[in-house]
Amino acid sequence: MRYLCFLLLAAWACTKQPENRPAASPSPPAVATTSILADALRQLLPDSIEVVALMGPGVDPHLYKPTPADLQRLQQARLVVSHGLGLEGRLLEALQATARRRPVVEAGGLVDETLLIYPDRQTPDPHLWHDAGLWRESTYALADTLARLLPELAETLRRRADRLADSLGALDRWAKDELGSLPADRRLLVTAHDAFAYFGRAYGFEVHGVQGLSTTAEAGLHDVQQLIDLLVARRVPAVFVESSVPRRSVEAVLEGCRKRGHVCRLGGELHSDALGAPPDDSYAATFRHNVATIAQALRTPQP
C-alpha cells in the first residue's frame, strides 16, 4: 500500500449547549504526527484549535513507535494529519485504525505526483519540506483539504494559507540568494541519511546520504567506502550530522577521509526529519538554520 488513504469526512458539528447544562469541556485537538506538520497546522488553523504533535524535536519519524499516550491522543483527536509517503512507517497501523473513526489526512498524498522524487522509481521521497517552494505548494493543498473538511472555517483557512504562502515564498527566495554564491565545486551536500534530495533539486546541490532514504536501513561498508572515495576525490570540505540520526555513520566517514589524507570537517548539525529545539522550533527558523549552516560550512576554505 503506497500510502495511507485519507478520509474526507464531514466536519465536526458545533452544538449549542442548553441554557441549564454545564459548559462543554475543551474541544479535542488537531493532531499532527511531526513537529513540522504541527507548525503548518498552527499557521493554518484558527488559534482556538489546539494543535498537538506526537513527535518533538530531534525525533526520527522513520523509527518512531507510538506510545500509549500517542494512541490516546489519536483516539481523542478531531483531526489527524500525517506526512505519509512512507515517512511514519511504524505509525501506519495506528493511523489506519484512527482513519476508521475520524478524518486522517495524508499531506504528502495531496501533492502532485509529478513533483515528487522517486529514488528507486517506486518509493516516493517524503522529505518535501526541504524545498521551501514545494512546501509552500504542499501547505496550500493541505489548506484546501482542511477547508473541505471544515467548511465553516474555509474562509479563515484560505486567508491564513495565503499569508503562509507569502512567508514561504520569501523564505524560498532568501535561500536561493544565500546559496547562489557558492561555486559549483562546493555544491556537494553529504548528510547522515538521504533526506535532502528536494533541497538539492531546488537549490542546485548534488546530494548524498550515508544511510538511505529511511534510517531503518544501516549503511553498508561498501556504501561508506564509496562515499569516502567521493569526498577525497572531490576534496569536499565538510559533511553534516542530523539532529534525529546517530552520528556514528558520519564519524566513520570522517575517519575514513582522515586515513586517506583528506581533512573533511564536521560542518554542523542539520534538522532533517524534525524541527529544532528553541530557537529553531518553527519551520522558518529550522529552514534558515539548515541553509545558513550548509552555506557557511561549504563556503569556508579547507584547512
Q: What is the CATH number of domain 30-175?
A: 3.40.50.1980
183-299 has which fold? Rossmann fold (3.40.50)
> pLDDT 10s digit of each residue in the chain, 303 long?
443 443 333 333 333 333 444 444 467 899 999 999 999 999 999 999 999 999 998 899 999 999 999 999 999 999 999 999 999 989 999 999 999 999 999 999 999 999 999 988 888 999 999 999 999 999 999 999 999 999 999 999 999 999 999 999 999 999 999 999 999 999 999 999 899 999 999 999 999 999 876 665 566 788 889 999 999 999 999 999 999 888 988 999 999 999 999 999 999 999 999 999 888 899 999 999 999 999 999 997 666
Task: Show the cell assigned to 26.
Answer: 475543551
CA atoms within 13 A on the CB side of 48: 5
The packing angle between helices 248-259 and 221-234, to 10°, is 50
- Domain ranges for the chain, please list them: 30-175, 183-299
C-alpha 122/C-alpha 206 separation (Å) is 21
Torsion, Cα 130 136 138 142, to 10 degrees, reads: 130
Cβ partners under 8 Å of residue 148, min gap 6: 8, 154
Determine the length of the chain: 303
C-alpha 149/C-alpha 13 separation (Å) is 11
Q: Is the pTM of this model over 0.85?
A: yes
Cβ partners under 8 Å of residue 109, min gap 6: 3, 4, 5, 6, 84, 85
